[in-house]
Chain A
Amino acid sequence: MEKIVIIGNGISGITAARHIRKLSNKSITIISAETDYFFSRTAIMYVYMGHMKFEHTQPYENWFWKKNRIDLVKGYVSNIHHKEKKVLLDNNKEIAYDKLIIATGSKPNKFGWPGQDLDGVQGLYSKQDLDALEKHAPNKDICKRAVIVGGGLIGIEMAEMLRSRNIPVTFLVREDSFWNGVLPNGESQMLNEHIREHHIDLKLKTNLAEIRSDENGRAKAVVTDSGETIACDVVGLTAGVSPNINFLKESGIELGRGVKVNRYLETNIKDIYAIGDCAEQHESIGNRRPIEAVWYTGRMMGETIAQTVCGNKIEYKPGHWFNSAKFLDIEYQTYGWVFSERGMKEYEGHFHWRHSSEKLCITVAYHKETKQFLGINTFGIRMRHQLFDKWLTEEKNIDQVMESLKDANFDPEFYAQYEQEILSKYNSDFSKTIKPKKKSLKHIFA
């Protein structure tokens, strides 16, 4: 029986294991140093906030693994001997494999800041990070202030977490507006406002210079590049993540920032594959980045690699880009590509609408010459993935999308509808006279 070993029990590794089991009878072993069982990393914020208990973040009951003959090993892989086809654990135990899948995910970035390894300084990625935050910031008396460094998706989640326990938060963001390397200005501005209305002390255009230590080696203050000193008990480092591959340095596997893989997710060494956050494509796929640290791309790579490992070799071919996030109370979804002013293609045009009082807005990207619909960002209005995926494949033009926008609405029943208002703004911005099409269940479910 062929022996498959997977390093990492995150979404990528687990998806691979589940699909290999569906397709075959191979022996499957998953090694993780983080937790005994798979949990949903995206949900750790809700554990700290008290929305869920940690066990609720585990999508499968504990009996699931045994029943599906997936062996779980708790241990830290210190090296791989690919010539002997063996994985070495740090307790000197060895595990032999026929095929090896590396799915070790990411670790929070640290950019060599003075004090970055002090007690009370942490990222927010792993179960251990969650435990550390519970220890250092259990309430507002023990943690009188927290400083978060890095204005991205994790940063704002961490701010929300701490605010749920009424801990004052200072949020240092390098850019002149929150996440505006990714989001167009209008959206980024709206989020600045929303962050501040949640009483988060947002400091834009501010970098971390140094973290000061108290006599016990614990963080006690942050110094910014403008020379300001902010007393704090916890420092959150949330300036992105990078592949967690240090243990592979001696392995002979080709590394860049991540584990280098081709479109079949194969590394330079036969029978060793890499998937998920830790994999780095030799060449970007479309507009995607070579390393994609996104939940669903990890899942898709897991689905793909399972096919390859089980004899049906196929390329990793992600479809149209999509993603989602939640900024405090504002839900965000994106389908296709909408770039910020900084990353915008020269052919890319934008239509932007924002509600006069509510925190709702959308941005639609289109091709200036062909008028082809390129993508949409939507804040506070849920939209239907299937439909946008279809429209992107069919290369609809922006007018067609705007007139059928009602079909794409995915908000709960009885919610106020804004398509009429959006369309009027579109018509007046572009001097058009487009009329909305009636909502059609046929189009939606076709």
Chain B
Amino acid sequence: MSTYDRSMALTGQPPVSLSKNQKLATLLGLGGLAIFLLAAFNLSFPNKGLWLTLSLASISIGTLWFAWDAYSNKKPGIKNDGVWFKSLVNRGFWGWILGIVLTSFYIILYFYPQYLGLVSGGENKGVIGLFDPLSRILSGNPASQWFVYGVLYTVAILAFGIKFLWKYRHNRYEKIRTLSVMFFQTSFAFLIPEFMARLNGDKLNLPYYDLKNMWPLNYYNFERYRVNALIDGGNIGMAMLLFGVVSIFVISPILTYKYGKRWYCSWVCGCGGLAETIGDPFRQLSNKSVKAWKFERWIVHSVVVFVTLTTTAVIYSYLGNDTSKYWLTKTTFLIGVAAILTLVFSWVMLFKRKQLQKDAQYGAIGFFIVVVGLIGLHFFSGDGDIFFIKAGTLRKNYSFLIGSVFSGVIGTGFYPILGNRVWCRFGCPMAAILGFQQKLFSKFRITTNGGQCISCGNCSTYCEMGIDVRAYAQKGENIVRSSCVGCGICAAVCPRGVLKLENGPLEGRINPTEVLLGNDVDLMEILNKK
């Protein structure tokens, strides 16, 4: 197999090298990136607008050209030929190179934006300078490293989204879902906040707000400066603040109940959008072992606890003590948080305990005791920093460890090494909360079609969340897993039509069986009704 090892093809054909068209397309795309590289080394481009357009156009056209050459002459159907022969997507040489490049990019982006040309209080240089004209057209302001990132992010989702649409053109679920993430990225995440910035002036100073990006994914949503800005922002601001609260406590539980967490994770979310488009060629790299699953449960729920503590501490830190000034004081807020946590915890332990793994039960008890204990301790130890650490420190650590390192550097930088959903699976607190609802309180499941499973393993291999789908399917058991983002690829790659994502009645949703359909009914009864 080593003959294929250096192939850079992303699309599923085992010939040793890329086709002529694919080579030219790759060259064009890399050419677009080279313009950025030159800009980064402060080569001064005379007409920034033109060069930026040229660069983005060559990246997009390169991607589309490549995809067109790869898929247009093929019949609609699964396009996974040769995936494991390609060094870019089988953790081979090119995969590691790409991983290192991406990781370095994220480190520079988050921690050393000056190398991208960011100049605070002056004219931007380098790559960021190149983006200034576009930023001025949209928001009227000069670009920042986040604007550059936003543009590239959106271009990636759009260009690779079209590639994905081609690849899965036989599958309407995949097509509609992908159009949805492309839409939400372009409008909600990119254009609307840019345009909203135009509203800002002397009277109004709304923060940058991607409305679909809700707490806790958007961990800074309820920080003082944002809340103040929103409150000062009149009706629009208040509506946005309210929407932020309602979206996590009302909208998301309702939608998750009806459709599972997929409505967010693979239809709306920006991280999900990137993972499903440019990340799609790496989905098979997720770890399917039981060990990884166990690790996932501990780490992702620890992040939930971390973000809850942080947000509680941050909000607490800026609330007052005087009820006459504002109804929400430090004390009422803390009692409120403790009450909500207790309510959720008791409900789960009373009614849903059976649906949790043993270690999940212990974990839930442990986390609950820690959080409520800390709040209790705080009450009895008088006024001071909640949770014994300054809210600011807690927040800074969260922002660094989770917000930057985990979600960016590891989450996306490691696509070619750990798969495209590392962040969503191991780190995203939003995914954990939605997953918790999906597991315990949702109509969503992946139905297994009787006894048709042949245990081939395509479903497990291509599950980006590392779920061993086959383990359920071959037992005739529905897949009800908190981590499932409902991307639908398991059902798409199944060669026997065994899996179907659907929303059905709660009764019979979880159906562990000993024996599959196909045997005489007596044997099934002996084994299943024991």
Contacts and interface: CB of A to CB of B under 8 A. Distances in A.
Interface of A: 11, 22, 40, 42-43, 46, 49-53, 56-59, 61, 134, 138-139, 164-166, 197-198, 295-296, 299-300, 303-304, 307, 312, 314-315, 317-319, 322, 324-326, 328-329, 331, 333, 382-386, 389, 410-416, 441, 444-445
B458 A46 contact: yes
Interface stretch (B20-28, B55-63, B514-522): B514-522
A444 to B, nearest CB: 7
Interface stretch (B134-142, B412-420, B497-505): B497-505
A329 B75 contact: yes
Contacts of B517: 319, 385-386, 389
Contact of A300 (B76, B457, B518): B518
B523 A165 contact: no
A138 B81 CA distance: 14
Given A139-B16, A385-B451, A318 B520 contact: yes
Nearest to B15: A166
Contacts of A413: 172-173, 500-502
B454 A331 contact: no
A198 to B, nearest CB: 7
A295 B173 contact: no
Interface string B287-301: 001100000000000
B492 interface: yes
A318 B84 contact: no
B488 A42 contact: no
Given A412-B500, A416-B172, 12 more contacts: A42-B456, A49-B80, A49-B81, A50-B86, A53-B84, A165-B82, A296-B452, A296-B454, A318-B518, A328-B77, A333-B496, A412-B501
27 contacts: A49-B82, A50-B80, A50-B81, A51-B80, A51-B84, A51-B458, A56-B461, A57-B456, A139-B3, A139-B16, A164-B81, A165-B14, A303-B527, A307-B526, A317-B523, A319-B519, A319-B521, A329-B75, A333-B452, A382-B500, A384-B450, A385-B450, A385-B452, A385-B517, A410-B447, A411-B500, A415-B172
A326 B496 contact: yes
A389 B457 contact: no
Contacts of B527: 303
B9 to A, nearest CB: 11
B496 A445 contact: no
Nearest to A23: B527
Contacts of A299: 451, 516
B361 interface: no
A134 B508 CA distance: 45
Contact of A329 (B77, B454, B491): B77
Contacts of A42: 454-456
Interface residues of B, number: 66
Nearest to B170: A329
B255 to A, nearest CB: 15
Interface string B76-93: 111011111110000000
A384 B1 CA distance: 39
A441 B518 contact: no
A318 to B, nearest CB: 7
5 nearest A-B pairs in the assembled complex, by CB-CB distance: A385-B450, A317-B520, A329-B77, A382-B497, A43-B456
B495 interface: yes
Contacts of A304: 519, 523
A301 to B, nearest CB: 10
Contacts of B452: 296, 322, 324, 333, 385
B205 to A, nearest CB: 42
Contacts of A386: 449-450, 517
B474 interface: yes
A43 B81 contact: no
A416 B175 CA distance: 13
A384 B396 CA distance: 52
Contact of A389 (B170, B173, B450): B450
B460 interface: yes
Contacts of B495: 326, 331
Nearest to B521: A319
A40 B505 contact: no
B242 interface: no
Interface string B333-344: 000000000000
Contacts of A389: 450, 517
Contacts of B16: 139
